[in-house]
Amino acid sequence: MSLELASTRAELDGLLARHGHARTAAAEGAPAPRTAVVMTMGALHDGHAALVRAARRHVGRAGFVVVTVFVNPLQFGANEDLDRYPRTLESDLRTAGAAGADAVFAPSADEVYPGGAPQVRISAGPMGERLEGAVRPGHFDGMLTVVAKLLHLTRPDIAFYGQKDAQQLALIRRMARDLNFPVEIVGVPTVREDDGLALSSRNRYLSAAERRTALTLSRALFAASDRLGAQNALRARAESAPTSTTRAAALSALGEARAAADSHAVANAASGTPRTGACGAHAVRSAARVVLDQAVRDSASFTLDYLALVDPADFTEVPDDHTGEAILAVAARVGRTRLIDNIPLTFGASQ
């Protein structure tokens, strides 16, 4: 099946109606094929293609995959890059088709908001006022409003969003749950360049020097992840082979400083009384902060907006003794370009 393009609601309805007839026919003797949607603002890259491929895998060859391409003015604030945001529809169609999409819905602003900016909008609530919402007031209200409209227009069984926009994904899941949208929301892991930079349509704004500086975000996240991995490995070692403080003291008396330090660390991990700041959320934040603070000192083009270690359920900061899932999120400006990134972490993984 060749890729089809719809730019009006009527054209989209026609595509969905044809697929609906196929669903009805299939339902007589087999499971009805499902419809999936991937929502984008265009300027598609490999990260978007990964979403489309995930959608295709989930619905199978008989399913229907719709990609929406719409630069939503409601989620851009004053002095943001609405006019500058790249519009590359011809390239987007090629990328979507190659990744397995059946149709692209690329409406105009007048088609999505025929009476102008809508008077009734979705409110993101308290979670929408944190982190990205604090830096970009009203952003998430505009995002949820257009997501709600596009879910109604495309009528999918399942919708795919990138983990890179973790707060957005959490809010869409909450909206679908709170407002009883009959759709399954699926998150897809962040796709990165070989050097670790998270793929983003805004990366094309970066100069060569700025791109090198932008790597600070992923380096900070990976440093934090490595620190947590080392902590979890130490805890696992302590649980499998506890080392007493007596042995550590004896090694110290013999002048075996490195062995003594290692034994002290294992003994502390085994007893559950590590030194203050030596483990847990505090250490993870600190490991990332070291990388970010160095970038602030080294580059005048780098401005940190926030670093936060949050609960995925509501994006509130987790305490230092947190166990379970968390998201380490970072946002910064590199020159005129604002970038975000995050990484999921699990505390107490060895327990």
Q: What is the DSSP string of 69-135?
A: E---GGG--TTSSTTTS---HHHHHHHHHHHT-SEEE---HHHHSBTBS-SS----TGGGGSTHHHH
Query: What's 165's DSSP letter?
Result: G
- Burial label for 13, CB within 10 Å (0-12, 13-18, 19+), is middle
- CA distances 64 to 82, 266, 309, Å, are 30, 54, 37
57 CB neighbour count, 10 Å cutoff: 11
Residue in the block written with tokens 């984008």:
40
CA distance 51 to 154: 16
Name the catalytic one among 45, 48, 139, 322: 48
Q: Is 139 a catalytic residue?
A: no
- CA distances 151 to 74, 105, 148, 198, Å, are 16, 12, 5, 26
Residue type, 309: L
Listed residue (132, 137, 3, 127) closest to 64, CA to CA: 3
Which residues make beta-bridge pairs with 6? Answer: 105
CA distance 149 to 183: 13
Say how far residue 326 (Cα) sits from the centre of its chain.
Answer: 13
CA distance 169 to 218: 19
Catalytic annotation, residues: 48
